[in-house]
Amino acid sequence: MAGVINPEAHLYIPDFRSAERSVQDLMYVADRVRPGGEMVIQSRKPRQMVYSALRNYNFRRFNEAELSERKAAGYPPFG
């Protein structure tokens, strides 16, 4: 079992890659949980796209949303 408390603190770092890094860090923890084990995340904002991607293991949707936001803001790889 692994537990993560307040992971959204990553999301408030003023960096356009903060959501991407948050997913990477949470996946790192999830990969270390033994098969059949559990990962518990205590969050004030459980509906964030980051947690949805992790819960559903749907990183394609997360990447599409993240790239769309970056394109609209003119962030790399678009600007």
What burial letters (b/e) apply to 10-23, b meaning 16+ CB within 10 Å?
bbeeeeeebbbebb
pLDDT tens sequence for the chain (79 residues)? 999 999 888 888 999 999 899 889 998 998 899 888 899 999 988 888 888 888 888 889 889 999 999 999 999 999 8
pLDDT of residue 51: 86
pLDDT of residue 12: 87
- Rounded Cα gap, residues 4 and 29, in angstroms: 9
